[in-house]
Structure 1
């Protein structure tokens, strides 16, 4: 029994040090070299932090671009999706309610033109980006409420569209809304 007990204890201590001390310190050190130094990339407005570039936040005012819906209420402490499949009656009702709400707030938009991302939550519930189409479909509403020419908002969306080599283009909703507030 001693033959197996001592090596087991040594292995347990070695793995504990490796996986509970060395590995986390290594990952923290690598994170310090990332944008935001591992604390997330802060978005500023008038010298104040208004949010983080990589975490979505709710915008309830119709004068702003709306992000994807969130199954976790945009709570970064509890990231997650609803885990309801496309045939789940509760999921279908939620999506239909979101479509109806979108149509009320965006009159003149055809139901078939609403991007799926605006009526379904992301897997994390914290997706900070929309497709350019998801942003552009909201331009008419915002232009009307803010009394800004639509073309100016289309240009703003285009200026904030990030092209990707591997994936689709995207627009960060928080950065877009900060720029929207800075429009003269």
Structure 2
């Protein structure tokens, strides 16, 4: 018994030091080298933090670009999806309500013109990005409500399309908060 007990205690102590001290310190150090210095990439306007680049926010005013719906109300403390399947009546009702709202504010669109990411919630409920098609779909509404030239808003959207990581990992996307901050800065 002593033959197995001493090595198992040693292994437990070594793993405790490695996993409870060395690993967290290493990860904290790597985080300090990243954007935001381990505290997340914040977006500021006139020195005031207005949000985090990697956490979605709710934009409901028609003069702003809207992000992807959230099943958790963009609550970062309780992120998650709705866990409702595509045949669930409550889920279908939510999707149809989102379509109706979009068509109300975009009467020039057909149901088939609405990108899926504008009516389906993300798995985390915190997705900060939308597809370029979803951003382009909203250009006319945003330009009308802000009394801006539609081409100027479209150019702003095109400038905010972020390419896939290293040109191949993930789809093109538009960060909604960054786009809305840039939109507020337009004169």
Counterpart residue number, 1:37: 37
Residue deviations 1:99-122 (CA, integer Å, cap 9, x gap): 111111222211110000000011
Worse-superposed segment, 100-109 or 171-180? 100-109
Aligned counterpart, 1:13: 13
In the TM superposition, residue 55 of structure 1 has moved relative to its aligned partner by 0.9
**Matched position secondary structure for 1:70:** coil
Q: TM-score, normalised by structure 2?
A: 0.93
Q: How many residues align?
A: 184
Report runs of 4+ in structure 1 exceeding 3 Å deviation. none
Cα RMSD, aligned residues only = 1.2
Aligned partner of 2:140 in structure 1 is 140
Residue 152 of structure 1 pairs with residue 155 of structure 2: no
Matched with 1:73 is: 73
- Supply the distance in 1 between the matched residues of 2:27 and 2:88 (Cα, whole angstroms): 39
TM-score scaled by length of structure 1: 0.95
Partner of residue 181 from structure 1, selected from 181, 184, 187: 184
Q: Which residue of 1 aligns with 2:91?
A: 91
* 3-state SS of 1:44 partner: strand
Deviates more, 1:14-23 or 1:116-125: 14-23
- Segments of 5+ residues of structure 1 without an aligned counterpart are none
Give CA deviations for 1:142-173 in whole Å, capped at 9, x if unaligned.
11111111111101101111122113211110
Q: Name structure 2 gaps, 5 residues minimum.
A: none
